[in-house]
Structure 1
Amino acid sequence: MARFEIPFSWSRLRGNNHRSLLAIHKKYGDRVRVAPSIVSHTTGDIWKDAYGHVKGNAEFPKDTAFVPYNGVHGILTADRTDHRRFRHLFSHAFSQQGLLSQEARVQGHIDGFIEQMKTRAGKEPLNMVEWFNWLTFDIIADMSFGQSFECVEKMETHPWVVGILQGVKAAVWFTVLGRYGLLGFLFKILPQKLLDARRTNYEYVSAKLDTRIEHAGDIRGDLLDTVLQKPLDDPEKASLLPPEQRYLNEEELKSICGNFVLAGSETTATLLSGAIFLLLTHPRVHEKLVKELRETFPTSESITIAAANDKSPFLLQVLNECLRVYPPVPFIFPRSVPAGGATISGHFYPEGTQMATCAMAANFVESNFARPNEFLPERWLPKDQRPKEFQNDNANGSFQPFSTGPRNCIGRNLAYAEQRVTLAKFLWNFDLSIPKGVSGWEKWIQEMDVFILWEKNPLMVDVKVRKGI
């Protein structure tokens, strides 16, 4: 079937590509041709050879089939030159120092989430997918535009959030069919609500950004403070300048902010939802983590970004294992071999061959992890402390939840901080359990499809305020 690309493309459109790739790698090994010009890898060498960057070597470009609504690429899909420019402009905002300067803003949202949840706890099972989406969208909207969606406060999903998730599903079709030159045909067959979602998302970003630009001189402590201190480029004039002399134009900023809202919300909400599911289906781990958090932190307020990172080692191990078992981005994003060809994992590939890795395959093969189908946070202990059977786990660096190289996730510091503080405060404040009489609860991940991101079903959880606080 690797002689034809249609089966591979069809599995991506159906949402089961992650399952088929894992099955293929388990059968054929760590390097498999899954389509005429696409080779999937599960070894860590792929990150160094194709996603990393060696000075003087050409970059392996991303798949260019996807076209943003406004035709202008943001930080996720820009070419090498523009990506470097965008990354430089936002580097401070996403640095550890920049994050600490924004901690009060992030903590305010998390504390508001805890207090609002207390008003609903103990009454009926709560959909944690919904609640975590509310929180993370509120945080990234506030940090990107200086305005929250107020989802947590209103306990309702903002229409933009719905549009973003529909837009992601549309993006799968644009990415896959764009490879065949069928975008015109796509506009005829794709459900209108998915096409409308692309336009609506663009309009929401435009409106929010216009308001933020009106207050460009204000220091709000958000991600746009620095870039809005200078006037944005006129696109026509900027096009006459060498790329390295350009600043940022409004359409570029719209695409970048759209990237921030998507990547900075849905992925973190997914990881948090997955963490709750995995903890409740593994009582030993759940009890151990709750015990550590409640013995380490005297109050909920004492759980700061720094403290969550430094004082709760088992929390970090649990989150790493959650990222392995339930990676927030399980889709495959190929890179193309540049002119002249390249050697990957000791094998030479000609120009144009697409190299890829899928976390759901790499994270579940025994060549990378012992007992890969089991949820075992102990595998992430320091090497001199971990059990002998896990000594060779991730030995080749196959586990890269935020990618690696010059295009690794610019928001990884923010994501780690949100994940750690939110999960720590949530478990410190609440006792959780699986609702009685719910059938199929343990299959929540197993039955999920992937359209770039996980298409999550509700995750209903009994939430009760911890006694004695």
Structure 2
Amino acid sequence: MVLLGDQQSQLMSASNVSRVAILYPFAAVIYNLFFHPLRKFPGPRLAAATKLAKSYYLARGETVDWISKLHDKYGPVVRVAPSELSFIEAQGWKDIYGFQSAGRPTNRKDPVFYAVASFETTNLLNANDADHARTRRIFSHAFSDKALKAQEPLLRKYVDLMVEKLYERAAKGKIDMVEMLNFTTFDIMSDLSFGEPLYMLENSEYVPWVALILGSLKGAAMVQVVSYLPLISGIVGFLFNKLINRMRRVHFKFCVDRVDRRLAAKTDRADIWTYVLRQENEKGLSLGEMHSNADLFMIAGTETTASLLSGLIFHLLTNPESLKELTKEIRSAFSSPEEMNLSSLVRLKYLHACLEEGLRMYTPVPAGVPRLTPPEGAAICGRWIPGNTAVYVTPFTSFRSVINFRNPEEFIPERWISSDYDSDNKAALQPFSVGPRNCIGKNLAYHEMRLILAMLLYHFDLRLSDESKSWNNQKVYALWAKPPLMVMVGPRKR
């Protein structure tokens, strides 16, 4: 049979497409290894050639451990994917995330990493520079020192309830401190964001909405894995995104309903919206921006604070001398818990040192948050980085590196108050990031952490249960995948 001319042409076209599809991955590997602008940066050959290596460790929750080993082998900057560099030097924070000098473009957020967090509008996390500056200026009043002092009774209400619940449960023996701290931080932020708690402390159980948040982290990591692998991103990406979007709709609607209810309340109570609404004018927040940012606060201002406290408690319980010193400072500084407040707790030097060391040893966001260099490139840590390169500091690795800290694997709060550790490059510890997009809730987080930890150690004696001796061996899916932290809790011996 003789094929017609157009049929032959179609077959030839299909054949050419097939050849391109087969040869393209090989051509990309050759380019990435020998011609890519990042070819001279150190790192494993497989990581330079393809994103398969990082995707593999990301899917297993082992990216941070893998990157840490690469930095141990290759030094302060490592190529972890064809167009991706990880840094651990302190200067990296300023060069990547910090304020830039006049005329120098900023490193924009990597759109592959920053998915839009709401279905209607952007928020502080992913807004463009102009919208971010306007939104942050409005919210800054709600996170100012004046606002935090006004919000102190609200914080104290839930910390006191946490103590009450711990007294009730102490007789039963072991308590999961991860669970108790999540109950506390979610109730606090819910009251600040929605005008009402989630009643998790009161009911001693997770509400389904919070369980959904905590359970979706691994799924979000899988979406990132799929985005790295074009050959499977079609059908698999569609299925993953459909699942994640369904979960996000449930989460977002929960926030929308409660924000609307709070806005309809017309009250001057000291919460986020009281301060935001005072700033309303022609440049104020739209309703969609209110919804989207409340959505963000309920993730960024809850699990991260509970994570830090969980990790710090673990390290204190596995370092009894540090626990003894901190407990002594707290109990000797106050004759009654009523004397504890945001102002008086700031004066406790060893408490602050423990918080800093906790943030170093168990930073709540351990993986790097990528930015893209401008098209013309940028100087980072004294090296010229080509344009459109994904760059970031990997916090966990930076905070545990001998480049920045002496005895980095040891929990030593004294390094923050003793001249014995003056050689430490303390500027490397930036758990709240730096620059115009650093964490707006930093001061709230510190006050919350001080109050919760101080009240806990004032009232109770703690001992780590044997089943949690290896608690810190965890995987990372954007945030730590924390197992229960089982602690023996008993009223303090007076």
Q: Is the pair's TM-score, using the shorter chain for normalization, greater than 0.5?
A: yes
Relative to structure 1, is the Cα distance of residues 64 and 193 closer, same or farther in structure 2, using a 3 angstrom cutoff?
Answer: closer
Partners of 1:186 and 1:320 in 2: CA distance: 41
Deviation at 1:213, TM superposition (A): 2.1
**1:122 and 1:462 in contact (8 A); partners too:** no
The aligned residue for residue 35 of structure 1 is 81
The aligned residue for residue 363 of structure 2 is 327
Relative to structure 1, is the Cα distance of residues 91 and 183 closer, same or farther in structure 2, using a 3 angstrom cutoff?
Answer: farther
Of the three residues 425, 442, 452, the one matched with 1:394 is: 425
The aligned residue for residue 459 of structure 1 is 485
Asked if 1:95 corresponds to 2:151, the answer is no
What amino acid does structure 2 have at the position aligned with 1:454? W
Q: Residues 386-407 of structure 1: CA distance to partner in whole angstroms, max 9, x if unpaired?
A: 21xx221125x21101101111
Asked if 1:116 corresponds to 2:153, the answer is no
SS in 2 for 1:356: strand
Of the three residues 228, 234, 257, the one matched with 2:294 is: 257
Deviation at 1:184, TM superposition (A): 5.5
SS in 2 for 1:210: helix
Q: Residues 269-312 of structure 1: CA distance to partner in whole angstroms, max 9, x if unpaired?
A: 001111111111111111111111111111112111111111x1
SS in 1 for 2:374: coil
What amino acid does structure 2 have at the position aligned with 1:80? D
Partners of 1:432 and 1:193 in 2: CA distance: 41
SS in 2 for 1:402: coil
Asked if 1:413 corresponds to 2:443, the answer is yes
Aligned pairs, number:
444
SS in 2 for 1:374: coil
Partners of 1:134 and 1:116 in 2: CA distance: 11
Partners of 2:463 and 2:68 in 1: CA distance: 31
Moved more, 34-43 or 168-177: 168-177
What amino acid does structure 2 have at the position aligned with 1:402? F
SS in 2 for 1:91: helix
The aligned residue for residue 235 of structure 1 is none
Asked if 1:205 corresponds to 2:264, the answer is no
Partners of 1:176 and 1:334 in 2: CA distance: 15
What amino acid does structure 2 have at the position aligned with 1:89? I
The aligned residue for residue 238 of structure 1 is none
**2:181 and 2:306 in contact (8 A); partners too:** yes
Deviation at 1:69, TM superposition (A): 4.5
Asked if 1:443 corresponds to 2:489, the answer is no
Deviation at 1:327, TM superposition (A): 0.3
Deviation at 1:353, TM superposition (A): 0.8
Moved more, 298-307 or 130-139: 298-307
SS in 1 for 2:191: helix
What amino acid does structure 2 have at the position aligned with 1:62? K
For the pair shown, the structure with the greater C-alpha radius of gyration is 2
Matches within 5 A, 1:283-302: 283-302=320-339
What amino acid does structure 2 have at the position aligned with 1:86? T
Partners of 2:395 and 2:279 in 1: CA distance: 40
**2:55 and 2:228 in contact (8 A); partners too:** no
The aligned residue for residue 393 of structure 2 is 357
Asked if 1:336 corresponds to 2:372, the answer is yes
**2:220 and 2:244 in contact (8 A); partners too:** no
Deviation at 1:467, TM superposition (A): 3.2
Asked if 1:6 corresponds to 2:42, the answer is no
Deviation at 1:191, TM superposition (A): 9.4
Deviation at 1:45, TM superposition (A): 1.1
Partners of 1:201 and 1:184 in 2: CA distance: 25
Q: Residues 318-376 of structure 1: CA distance to partner in whole angstroms, max 9, x if unpaired?
A: 11111000000112211110132111111111210111111111011111111111111
Partners of 2:129 and 2:156 in 1: CA distance: 35
Relative to structure 1, is the Cα distance of residues 174 and 83 closer, same or farther in structure 2, using a 3 angstrom cutoff?
Answer: farther
Q: Which aligned runs of 4 or more in structure 1 are off by greater than 6 angstroms?
A: none
Deviation at 1:426, TM superposition (A): 0.2
**1:328 and 1:454 in contact (8 A); partners too:** yes
**1:270 and 1:328 in contact (8 A); partners too:** yes
Relative to structure 1, is the Cα distance of residues 185 and 89 closer, same or farther in structure 2, using a 3 angstrom cutoff?
Answer: farther
**2:461 and 2:490 in contact (8 A); partners too:** yes
The aligned residue for residue 239 of structure 1 is none
Q: Residues 396-452 of structure 1: CA distance to partner in whole angstroms, max 9, x if unpaired?
A: x211011011111000000000101110110000011123xx34x221112x11111
Q: Residues 67-109 of structure 1: CA distance to partner in whole angstroms, max 9, x if unpaired?
A: 3241532111222121111101101111122111111111111
Relative to structure 1, is the Cα distance of residues 193 and 179 closer, same or farther in structure 2, using a 3 angstrom cutoff?
Answer: closer
What amino acid does structure 2 have at the position aligned with 1:444? W
Deviation at 1:25, TM superposition (A): 0.3
Partners of 2:190 and 2:489 in 1: CA distance: 27
Partners of 1:306 and 1:361 in 2: CA distance: 33
TM-score by length of 1: 0.90
What amino acid does structure 2 have at the position aligned with 1:445? N
SS in 1 for 2:78: strand
Deviation at 1:247, TM superposition (A): 2.9
**1:59 and 1:80 in contact (8 A); partners too:** no
Deviation at 1:180, TM superposition (A): 5.7
Partners of 2:267 and 2:411 in 1: CA distance: 47
**1:94 and 1:413 in contact (8 A); partners too:** yes
Asked if 1:433 corresponds to 2:463, the answer is yes
Relative to structure 1, is the Cα distance of residues 167 and 67 closer, same or farther in structure 2, using a 3 angstrom cutoff?
Answer: farther
Question: Which runs of no fewer than 5 residues in structure 2 stay unpaired?
Answer: 1-45
